[in-house]
Amino acid sequence: MAVSAGASGTAEPAHIAILAMPEVTASVLYGLSDLLMGAGRDWPLVVEDRPGESALRVQIVSADGQPLTVANGVPVVPHAALADVPAPQVICIPEVFVLPSADLRGRFEAEVAWLRQAHAGGAVIATACSGALLMAEAGLLDGEDATTHWAYCDALAQRHPRIRLHRQRALVTAGEGQRLVMAGGGTSWQDLGLYLIARLVSLEVAMQMARIYLIDWHDSGQQPFARLSASRQSDDAVITRCQLWAAEHYREPSPVASMTRVSGLSERSFVRRFQQATGLSPLQYVHHVRLEEAKQLLESTDDPIEAVAEQVGYEDAGYFARLFKREVNLTPAQYRRRFAGLREVLRYGSAGA
């Protein structure tokens, strides 16, 4: 979908509807709205000292158009009800702030029906964070590539096995005409907003907004930000016992053989049950545990990479570095540069509070 909506006024601004529900947060809802409405307006205002004109027409809409209170307790007054919105060119779902285990069937009937109708009519459906859950409930992602916030990946994969889920990617476009757009992480609404501005207005205007808002594109993906969602204990008591063993003994050599002995099962039965309970093979699970510990060491110590590798159970530092880069999408040194400083700033701020 290509929409001409330049700031020069030669075309009608593209119409974007942002979906408000009790399950969104005000920061994402209004942050995305502000970013999109600023396209074409804010750069001349702050750089050229003249008023600009918004290149996009943005509305906040809800099922009935009535005032509502969103997930973090902030009151929101939508511009319109779904039934009163003329076919928007783009619909944005900020997020679905629910428990990963929540059953969404029948919970958003009006919104799901509206999304289906709008998409069938040619609209782009764009989501940030966990908003892909609603897109999936509408049946729009069956057989398509997708991403969502790392904490919701397991739930999305289990409920909708036909989706081709890309857990590590921060932005995915899919479907006919690339009219399904998903941004994965918690602040990825910024990435989503910039992408939509580049697509609907121009790359130059998107870059202007990135400079004004000081937005750093999450080109490394969302894996560096993910805590080990796989560490959630399973409902299988035997496998849970093995998970707890791994949390304490992940440094030991031959951890999978040791976990098999702890389970009391045959190797074949153990591997099958572990995979079924956690979605990972035993070896993948141990690697995840080790890499999470390595992240903590990289953030909080000045230990050489070789020492970090050894502390988490890898004798070959080169293998550790390659595995870290493959799973986290950053090298250990890149990860340390990005996150050690943040940890220090937070520690200083906490001490001064």
- Which pLDDT value is given to residue 55? 95
Question: How far is the C-alpha of 312 from the C-alpha of 294, rounded, in Å?
Answer: 6
CA distances to 39, 47, 126 from 208, in Å? 8, 10, 21
- Give the pLDDT confidence of 283-293 residue by residue, as tens digits: 999 998 899 88
Most confident of 12-16, 55-59, 216-220, 335-339: 55-59
> Could you tell me the fold of the domain covering 14-222?
Rossmann fold (3.40.50)
CB 270 within 8 A of CB 256: no
- Provide φ and ψ at 187, rounded to 5°: -105, 20
Mean pLDDT for the stretch of residues 45-68: 92
Sign of CA dihedral 66, 54, 37, 170: positive
Provide Rg for the chain, Cα atoms: 23
- Which pLDDT value is given to residue 207? 77
Does the pLDDT value for residue 112 go beyond 80?
yes
- Which pLDDT value is given to residue 320? 96
CB 130 within 8 A of CB 102: no
Q: What is the pTM of this model?
A: 0.66
Mean pLDDT for the stretch of residues 163-187: 84
Mean pLDDT for the stretch of residues 84-107: 90
CB-based burial label for 248 (10 Å; 0-12, 13-18, 19+):
exposed
Residue 236: which pLDDT band, with cuts at 50, 70 and 90?
Answer: confident
- Which pLDDT value is given to residue 328? 85
Helices (H), 93-249: 109-120, 132-137, 153-159, 189-200, 203-213, 237-249
Tell me which architecture the domain covering 229-352 has in CATH: Orthogonal Bundle (1.10)
Domain ranges of the chain: 14-222, 229-352
Residue 234: which pLDDT band, with cuts at 50, 70 and 90?
Answer: low
